[in-house]
Amino acid sequence: MSTLVATNKKSFGATLWDYLTTVDHKKIAIMYLIAGGFFFLVGGLEALAIRWQLVQPMNDFVSAGFYNELITMHGTTMIFLAAMPLIFAFMNAVVPLQIGARDVAFPFLNSLGFWLFLFGGIMLNVGWFTGGAADAGWTAYAPLSTTSPGEGVDYYVLGLQISGAGTLMGGINFLVTIVNMRAPGMTYMRMPLFTWTAFVASALILFAFPALTVGLFLMMFDRLFGSGFFEANMGGNAVIWQHLFWIFGHPEVYILALPAFGVFSEIISTFSKKRLFGYTAMVFATVLIGFLGFMVWAHHMFTVGMGPAANSIFAVATMAIAVPTGIKIFNWLFTLWGGSIEINTPMLWALGFIPTFTLGGMTGVMVAAASADYQFHDTYFVVAHFHYVIVGGVVFALLAGLHYWWPKMFGTILDDKLGKITFWFFFIGFHLTFFIQHFLGLMGMPRRYWTYLENQGLDLGNLVSTIGAFLMGVGTIFLLINIVKTTMKNEKVGGDPWDARTLEWAIPSPPPFYNFKQLPLVRGLDPLWVEKTEGRKGMTPAEPIGDIHMPNNSFLPFVISVGLFIAGFGFIYQKNDLSWLTLVFIGMGIALGAMLTRSVKDDIGYHIHKEDLQKEAEES
Ligand code: HEM
Ligand SMILES: [Cu+2]
């Protein structure tokens, strides 16, 4: 294939095949957005079911066992199948454009990462239909998880293993992309903050996910092959699981939070019409948070019995994170200060985020005080704390980024009025739901309990909390209406609808499949803004028009993922009947066969010729 293909009219089958085989980061971004959005709705429905169970004392809307499955799958789904992939959606949609690149470093791997995530996510949820989903909490503490009957936790172990492999590949890909693929002049200290945070988050993925991989591997052996890594009476140690899990789990919080900070940095600077205040400090704060994120995992284990020395060290290290985070908060405020501020939907989320996240940070310092944590531990205070951080930080950022980058991804713009309605329902609902949980926790309401007695002072708080959760649900419905309406209207916008500052806005919306016809020359921070202040409309090119090298589509990533998916069932059910091992052989055969095909078949891609690019430029 050597010429440009007309892409406007395609049959459904051709479009489907195109997406199944695509290696284009922009299409992969859309798939992450759809799949992550779907799982966000699933996790949200699970949250509503939990809250409905807790709406009044001694309720029996769901059984105790089903409740355990609901909280486990809610937490697991939200973290691994909604928040992570949605972050990846924006990283894919934005990072290559922000650094002036034509794609990520390894487009094939990028697609493999997506399909592994999707099939892992499906696997996690299969448990619902085969006698019960995972029920040992999203943290799957041993021995609860190793002794949980049925297959629920097996689906958790294998589903997470498959989707985790995809995440690891994605992280490595973005590290290499950001190191290697920056346009001429894009030095590290000229990278937009979102790219910086994606970079540090990818480094965290590189170091954190292997700990999860190892932990899940040991857990798989304990559950499926009768080893005893976490079994005290076989010489194992359940606390090892907790260490492995949190060495992964705490950095995971920052893998989500740092890109969220990046989103807000872009939005606050764009809609204050100012460069980000304290750019250098923001970069160093990002790196420092990333580093400290690894030093504090054991604050999740204060009550395990590590002893006062370990508790003190981890308490102090944890509190230290408040310093770089505080620097960020002040820099956002200083960016706003004196700016010509435009308040639209993305900006509303950013303005709502600052106080909300600050509150979550303050309760974070409270639970980091080891002695006080003996009171807070496993109460609703903790539930309130981490939802303030993870919803008030990460989900707000995802919704802000959705409205901000929607025009770039789809070429249409979400309705601002509906966007604001979504914001107010969600924002008010959020604080109703979670603020009061601090007090429920202080009054002794334990986390993960199926029900509570009446007249313990917990009735009103829980009722309010449930009402708030449903208001968030209403906000989400308005978002869906907005998406449908915008898509139906299909009103096209230009390349730069926000009068923005960074490179992604220098090319049309949605961008052509090769992104930049000519790589841009970056001459400062906020490169597009630099050109605008000098009276130019677009970027100065760094190269003459020439042939562009493009990667070929491939079906192999899908096949590899299906293979591992099939093998997963074999691993699980061989514990009941060894004949299931056949599935392991078939599945691994498919996966390894596809990998072998990939390694022996030369795939040199194709070129878009310079003449075609010129002709296209003349026609438009
Ligand atoms: C937006 C509306 C949300 C509501 C109403 C909600 C509600 C809840 C509730 C009621 C619990 C159970 C606490 C218990 O039983 O003691 C819970 C647990 C949890 N939630 Fe959410 N949640 C929401 C969003 C999220 C998001 C966006 C995330 C992550 C990105 C998240 C992560 C978690 C985690 C990790 C747990 C702990 C599960 C466990 O204990 O194993 N939640 N949530
Ligand atoms: Cu932590």
Q: pLDDT by residue (tens digit) across 69-116?
A: 999 999 999 999 999 999 999 999 999 999 999 999 999 999 999 999
- Alpha-carbon distance of 78 to 84, in angstroms, equals 8
Q: Which has the closest alpha carbon to 301: 361, 381, 359, 247?
A: 247
pLDDT number for residue 542: 95
Distance from the CA of 376 to the center of ligand 2, in angstroms?
Answer: 14
Q: What is the pLDDT of residues 472-505, one digit of tens each?
A: 999 999 999 999 999 999 999 999 999 999 999 9
- For ligand 1, is residue 383 a contact (CB within 6 Å)? yes
Rounded-to-integer distance, Cα 474 and Cα 588, Å:
44
Q: What residues are paired with 25 via a beta bridge?
A: none
Cα-to-centroid distance, 68 and ligand 1 (Å):
12
- What pLDDT sits at residue 18? 96
Q: Where are the alpha helices (DSSP H) in 77-192?
A: 84-98, 107-126, 144-147, 152-180
| Residue 4 pLDDT > 80 | no
- Cα–Cα distances in Å, from 243 out to 4, 73, 253, 525? 53, 21, 15, 41
Q: Is the pLDDT of residue 17 over 60?
A: yes
Question: For residues 167 and 113, is the Cβ–Cβ distance under 8 A?
Answer: yes
Q: Quick: pLDDT tens for 138-186.
A: 999 999 999 999 999 999 999 999 999 999 999 999 999 999 999 999 9
φ, ψ at 400 (rounded to 5°): -65, -50
Decide: 409 and 507 in contact? Cβ < 8 Å: no
- Closest residue to atom 35 of ligand 1, CA basis: 75
463: enclosing H helix or E strand:
helix 459-489
The first and second tokens of residue 194, run together, are: 């979102």
DSSP E strands in 345-388: the ranges are none
Q: Is the CB of 391 under 6 A from ligand 1?
A: yes
SS3 222: helix
Q: Is the peptide bond before 497 cis (omega within 30 degrees of 0)?
A: no
pLDDT tens per residue across span 578-615: 999 999 999 999 999 999 999 999 888 999 999 999 88
Helices 459-489 & 25-53 angle (0-180, nearest 10): 150
pLDDT score for 620: 64
Distance of alpha carbon 32 from alpha carbon 174, whole angstroms: 15
Count Cβ atoms within 10 A of the Cβ of residue 58 and give its class: 0-12 exposed, 13-18 middle, 19 or more buried. exposed
Among 71, 252, 428, 449, name the best residue to mutate to test ligand 1's pocket (greatest count of ligand atoms within 8 A of Cβ): 71
Mean pLDDT of 355-373: 97
Residue nearest to atom 34 of ligand 1 (CA): 75
Q: Give rounded-to-5 percent helix, strand, coil for the chain.
A: 70, 0, 30
Secondary element (H or E) of residue 363: helix 345-368
| Beta-ladder partners of 550 | 606
Could you tell me the sign of the dihedral formed by the alpha carbons of 581, 586, 592, 595, in that order?
negative
Closest CA to 281 of 344, 323, 320: 323
Residue 9 has pLDDT above 60, yes or no: yes
C-alpha distance across the termini of the chain, in Å: 22
Bridge partners of residue 492, in order along the sequence = 412
Percent pLDDT > 70 in the chain is 98
Is the CB of 72 inside a 6 Å radius of any atom of ligand 1? yes
What number of other Cβ atoms are within 10 A of residue 537's Cβ? 10
- Ligand 1 contacts CB of residue 74 (under 6 A): yes
Nearest alpha carbon, ligand 1 atom 36:
75
Could you tell me if the CB of 134 is within 6 A of ligand 1?
Answer: no
Mean pLDDT on 112-128: 98
What is the Å distance from ligand 2's center to 138 Cα? 14
pLDDT of residue 185: 97
Task: Take residue 597 and report the two structure tokens written for it.
Answer: 């095909």
Q: Is the CB of 471 under 6 A from ligand 1?
A: no
CA of 163 relative to ligand 1 center, distance in Å: 20
Residue whose CA is at the smallest distance from ligand 1 atom 14: 448
The ligand with the least distance to the CA atom of 382 is: 1
**Local confidence band at 3 (pLDDT 50, 70, 90 cut-offs):** very low
Tell which atom from ligand 1 comes closest to the C-alpha of 137: 41
What is the 463 CA–ligand 2 centroid distance (Å)? 29
Q: Which two tokens stand for residue 136?
A: 């040992």
With H, G, I as helix, E, B as strand and everything else as coil, classify residue 548: strand
Mutate to test the pocket of ligand 1, among 51, 52, 55, 387 (most ligand atoms within 8 A of CB): 387
The residues with which 549 forms a beta bridge, in sequence order, are: 607
Angle at CA 126, nearest 5°, toward 125 and 131? 110
CA distance 562 to 590: 8
Round to whole Å and give the CA distance between 29 and 114. Answer: 9
Once rounded to an integer, what is the mean pLDDT over residues 531-552?
Answer: 94
3-state secondary structure of 82: helix
Distance (Å, rounded) from C-alpha 572 to C-alpha 585? 13
Distance CA 83, CA 69 (A): 20
- Tell me which H or E stretch contains 607: strand 606-608
The predicted structure's pLDDT at residue 150: 95
Q: Considering only CA atoms, which of 499, 298, 330 is closest in space to residue 404? A: 499
Q: Can you give the pLDDT at residue 10?
A: 81
Residue nearest to atom 22 of ligand 1 (CA): 47
Closest of 350, 333, 322, 206 to residue 274, by C-alpha: 333
Q: Are 215 and 223 in contact (CB under 8 A)?
A: no
Look at residue 2 and tell me whether its pLDDT is greater than 50: no
Residue 443 clears pLDDT 70, i.e. is over it: yes
Average pLDDT in the chain: 96
For 270-296, the pLDDT digits (tens) are 999 999 999 999 999 999 999 999 999
Distance CA 351, CA 458 (A): 32
Q: Please report, to the nearest 10 degrees, the dihedral formed by the alpha carbons of residues 269, 272, 275, 280 taken in order.
A: -60
Ligand 1 site, residue 436, Cβ cutoff 6 A: no
Residue indicated by tokens 């919306």: 509
- 560: pLDDT strictly greater than 90: yes
Protein residue with least CA distance to atom 5, ligand 1: 469
Task: Evaluate: CB of 472 within 6 angstroms of ligand 1.
Answer: yes
Query: Residue 1 has what pLDDT?
Result: 40
In the three-class reduction of DSSP (H, G, I as helix; E, B as strand; rest coil), residue 618 is classed as helix
**By C-alpha distance, which of 94, 272, 114 is closest to 196?**
94
425 lines ligand 1 (CB under 6 A): no
> Does ligand 1 come within 6 angstroms of the Cβ of 384?
no
Indicate if the pLDDT at residue 428 is higher than 70.
yes
The token pair that represents 429 in the structure block: 């609902």
